[in-house]
Amino acid sequence: MSCAPLVSRRIAVPLMLATLMVACKSAASQDTGATAAAPVAQPQAMATATDTLPAELAALPQAPSTSPQPWVPYAVENGMAAQWCPENPNDSQVPSDRARSTGLLHKPCLGLLPQHLAQVLLAIPESAIHISRQTRSRLLREPQPYLAVKGLSDRPDFITTVDFLEGITLRSFEGTTPADTVYLVEGPFRCIDDAPLVPREGEYVLAAASCKSALADTRLYKWSSGDALADVTAQYLPAPRLSAAEQAAMAPDSLHLDLTQLSQAPVLRWSALLKNRSPGATSDEYTPIDMPASIHASRQPGGALAFDKLEWDGVKFSNLALANPME
């Protein structure tokens, strides 16, 4: 059977997830074809980042230590006992706009998150992400949409958008060695309680003492040698290189990371909005200025401004070398 795509708004997502779980339960038991015929080996025990695993993570599935060869869509997730996976990874029903914006270009599976991904979400300090540990623990006991992605190491990468308000995106980048692995997290990191003029579109309305309203921002995390989760954003995300014309055309406070390629390749790209023709107008009245002729066409996909691409090489993110030096 064919199931409806995920909807990510704070009201629609829980309803859609519940509907998917009910509507697809029978389909999950009837799936046949290449996915069912090519199960991945049962997950091997993987070393955790800490000596003592939090109790709420003990029952979560562990990722397999090796990826299927050749790669088979959904084989990893089915091998980890996902509750439901699509019958066809190329289904014409595309995910929601929110899912596409975070790299889910085809429909994900539903199931409990891989243990190592959940461990990162649980370990982020509440003062940074403004979501209580109790809330995150509850989310990890519920099925979430996620995908396994062929990465640069033996263990597959994973990407998920956790069902919390506007969504929390996590994406693992396996390293050349396990110690090199980095985790991208997009969520309510940017508190705007003291910024009344910042547009509220897409805001997370929170109950944390540290923040009541936040916007999405992207962080990179890595386990340190002392088994502590460290924020390595500043070290791993090179700032974009902007020309004077690009700086003049860019809307204030609109620079962000484009994550739309994340389920296809370990690549990020800096992006920004053009200035609004009507300064001070609401987001619903956004009318971008004309793209200046001095800005190269490679910087203009979709009418926005796009800057440097950053590619994960197994150790770090580097500016992606392009044939055209203006790109």
Whole-number pLDDT of residue 279: 66
Compute, in degrees rounded to 10, the torsion defined by CA atoms 131, 137, 141, 142.
Answer: 0
Query: pLDDT digits over 54-101, tens only?
Result: 888 999 999 999 999 999 989 999 999 999 998 877 664 555 555 555
**Tens-digit pLDDT profile for residues 273-296:** 888 877 665 556 777 777 777 777
Average pLDDT, the chain: 77
Residue 142 · residue 302 · CB < 8 Å: no
> Within 10 A of 66 (CB to CB), how many other CB atoms are there?
15
Structure tokens at 304: 């926005």
86 C-beta neighbours (distance < 10 Å), count: 23
- Coil, strand, or helix at residue 149? strand
Q: How far is CA 216 from CA 19, 87, 119, in A?
A: 27, 32, 20
Residue 38 has pLDDT above 80, yes or no: no
Other beta carbons within 10 angstroms of residue 40's beta carbon come to 21
Sheet holding 317-319, edge to edge: 256-258, 267-272, 305-312, 317-319
CA count, 13 A, side-chain hemisphere, 262:
29
Nearest residue to 183 (alpha-carbon basis) of 200, 202, 194, 170: 170
Alpha-carbon span 316 to 311, nearest angstrom: 8
pTM of the model: 0.79
